[in-house]
């Protein structure tokens, strides 16, 4: 909640006093056998959270970005999930002890309201994910996911909306319950028809309206 001020410090400033940790791309930040011991605030980069199925396949849960927190469920409810937290690019985190975080939460109602906004934003991510899975047809699922990613990670540029996160074909496949090969074919078709582009290994959508029109055509 950018610009939201508590009576003591801003929401973001509070976490910037925590101990700093740096992680390289592909490095695990947390895994099921590690007790988080506190809450992590993302100062820079992106973190993917996934589970492993019984067959060993990765099941993408969520991708966190700058300014977001994890693992909230552990800190707030003492629920420890068998999840892996992996750096998608260069990640800088600040760790705050659980008791310090909870103390601030109890003390400062403004801080609590700011956290509520963070939780609402995350709820929107999961609601969109469910809506996406209910979309019929592989092409429509891929386009709906790209549209959501543009909303969540999009940066407006002179060339269109850049999805400013290191999203791969596999990440999209894992999030829409399709195999990577199928997703790659759909993305290559969208690139061929100039509905999307790839710029510096990131997706660029020249015209969001054109992408959304494509989705409407598939759903009609």
Query: What is the reported pLDDT for 138?
Result: 84
Give the residue among 26, 10, 145 at the shortest CA–CA distance from 85: 26
Kind and range of the H or E element at 28?
strand 28-30
189 has a pLDDT exceeding 50 = yes
pTM for the model: 0.86
pLDDT band (50, 70, 90) for residue 203: very high
- In the chain, where the domains are located: 11-107, 135-219
Q: How confident is the model at residue 9 (pLDDT cuts 50, 70, 90)?
A: low
In this model, does residue 85 exceed pLDDT 50?
Answer: yes
Per-residue pLDDT, 127: 81
Residue 31 · residue 84 · CB < 8 Å: yes
Axis-axis angle for helices 180-192, 138-153 (nearest 10): 70
Indicate the pLDDT class of residue 59, thresholds 50, 70 and 90.
Answer: confident
Alpha-carbon distance of 23 to 32, in angstroms, equals 18
Percentage of residues in the chain with pLDDT exceeding 70?
Answer: 94
Q: Is the pLDDT of residue 210 over 70?
A: yes
User: What's the pLDDT band for 91 if we cut at 50, 70, 90?
Assistant: very high
**Inter-residue contact 53 to 97 (CB < 8 Å):** no
28-42, 77-91, 96-110, 134-148: which has the minimum mean pLDDT? 134-148
Domain 135-219, CATH number (from 1.10.10.10, 3.20.20.480, 2.60.40.10, 1.10.760.10): 1.10.10.10
CA 107, chain centre distance (Å): 29
Assigned architecture for domain 11-107 = Sandwich (2.60)
Average pLDDT, the chain: 90
Bridge partners for 95 per DSSP: 19, 40
Mean pLDDT for 200-209 is: 95
**11-107 and 135-219: identical CATH topology:** no
Of 207, 217, 11, which is closest to residue 118 (Cα–Cα)? 11
Distances (CA, A) of 60 to 24, 47, 217: 19, 11, 28
Give the separation between CA 39 and CA 76, rounded to whole angstroms. 10
The SS3 call for residue 51 is: strand
């Amino acid at each position: 909640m950018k610009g939201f001020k508590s009576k003591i410090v801003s929401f973001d400033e509070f976490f910037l006093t925590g101990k700093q940790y740096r992680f390289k791309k592909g490095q695990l930040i947390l895994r099921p056998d590690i007790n988080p011991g506190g809450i992590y605030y993302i100062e820079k980069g992106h973190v993917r959270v996934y589970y492993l199925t019984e067959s060993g396949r990765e099941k993408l849960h969520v991708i966190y970005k700058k300014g977001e927190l994890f693992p909230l469920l552990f800190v707030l409810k003492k629920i420890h999930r068998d999840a892996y937290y992996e750096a998608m690019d260069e990640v800088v985190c600040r760790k705050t002890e659980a008791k310090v975080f909870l103390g601030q939460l109890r003390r400062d109602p403004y801080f609590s309201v700011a956290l509520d906004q963070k939780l609402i934003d995350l709820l929107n991510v999961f609601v969109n994910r469910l809506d996406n899975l209910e979309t019929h047809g592989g092409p429509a699922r891929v386009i709906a996911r790209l549209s959501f990613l543009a909303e969540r990670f999009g940066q407006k540029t002179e060339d269109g909306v850049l999805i400013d996160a290191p999203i791969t074909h596999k990440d999209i496949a894992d999030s829409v319950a399709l195999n990577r090969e199928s997703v790659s074919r759909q993305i290559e078709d969208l690139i061929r028809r100039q509905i999307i582009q790839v710029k510096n290994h990131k997706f660029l959508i020249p015209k969001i309206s054109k992408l959304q029109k494509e989705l409407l055509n598939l759903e009609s």
